[in-house]
Amino acid sequence: MRILVVDDDESLRGILAMVLGDDGHLVTTAESGEEALELYLADPFPLVITDIRMGGMSGIELLQRLKETNPETEVIVITSYASVDTAVTALRLGAYDYLVKPFEELEFISNVVARAVEKIRLVHDNRRMLDNLVRNRSELEQMNRTLQDLAVRDGLTGLYNRRYFRETIAMEVNRCRRHKGSFSLAFLDVDHFKIFNDSQGHPEGDMVLKTLAELLTERLRKTDVIARYGGEEFVFLLPETHKANGVYCAETVCRLIAGHDFTGTNGQSLGQVTVSIGVAAYPDDGADAEDIVRRADEALYAAKTGGRNRVSAAPDGGA
């Protein structure tokens, strides 16, 4: 371990450097508190051994400066028999331990330093374990978020799935009841999709569904909830949107899709794709989620039987 030894007595610095070097430590020496602080600030040492009484900056002052810079730096102070009280003061200021000079047994130096080194390593290991726990927890939370997202997403389009839509519309109805709000719901179905799949193949059909999902995501607001309801059927819920605005939005979507150049897996043109859309609204067309879904589905059926590639709104007064 890197250790900084600070003492204005050259012979004492030499003894400490020799003992600690023999113990396998990398020792740097300084003959004053000022020099030691300069060395420390340039490249901090995990362990500093300093005499208390030195000309200029004292060991107590150096201890305080080191602890202000990094409270985790361990400091061992050196004192004489006549100034043990000062060593106690150093301990209260955060010193790890103290050595009394003259040294009666050099082994005692090694023992005190070994305990300090063990503490430093223990703190380091504990921090590393804590960092690992935090990182693992963060990774676990990310995995949980990913799993939760997968549970509510459609695998093909990346849109929300039917389960998520059902939960969301129930919450939206409750929110609107409390705050006297409104929302519109649109059911969208791809016209003649079975015929398209039979003639073009399922991979091209999947491309159409994915492109539709992209068009809906680009056209609608971030606050709107878009889901794949099943097969070639999509839904989008428009919060704080009255029926008239919901119908207008659905009509822009219908025109956008009809005018889009759909391409296949190899970039080839797939021709025109059209959709039929049914729109219902809360509270105009029902008092709960089931009512609104039923009315939007009925409106979709009306759009399809009425010629397709069009929008149909649930008739007023039919709730």
Tell me which residues are annotated as active site: 232
In this structure, how many other beta carbons lie within 10 angstroms of the beta carbon of residue 164? 17
Query: Euclidean distance between the first and final Cα of the chain, in Å?
Result: 80
Q: Is 57 helix (H, G, I), strand (E, B) or coil?
A: coil
Q: Classify residue 131 by burial, with Cβ atoms within 10 Å: 0-12, 13-18, 19+.
A: exposed
Q: Which of 165, 164, 181 is nearest to 173 (CA)?
A: 181
In this structure, how many other beta carbons lie within 10 angstroms of the beta carbon of residue 318? 14
Q: Which residues contact 295 (CB under 8 A, 6 or more apart)?
A: 280, 285, 286, 314, 318, 319
Taking the C-alpha atoms of residue 69 and residue 219, their distance in angstroms, rounded to an integer, is 56
DSSP H helical ranges for the chain: 10-22, 33-42, 59-69, 84-92, 106-152, 162-179, 193-200, 202-219, 243-258, 289-305
Q: What is the phi/psi pair of residue 100, to 5°?
A: -105, 130
**Is the dihedral angle over the CA atoms 171, 174, 176, 178 positive or is it negative?**
negative
Q: Which of 232, 174, 223, 236 is nearest to 202 (CA)?
A: 232
Taking the C-alpha atoms of residue 116 and residue 119, their distance in angstroms, rounded to an integer, is 5
In this structure, how many other beta carbons lie within 10 angstroms of the beta carbon of residue 116? 22
- Mode of pairing for the β-strands spanning 47-51 and 26-30: unpaired
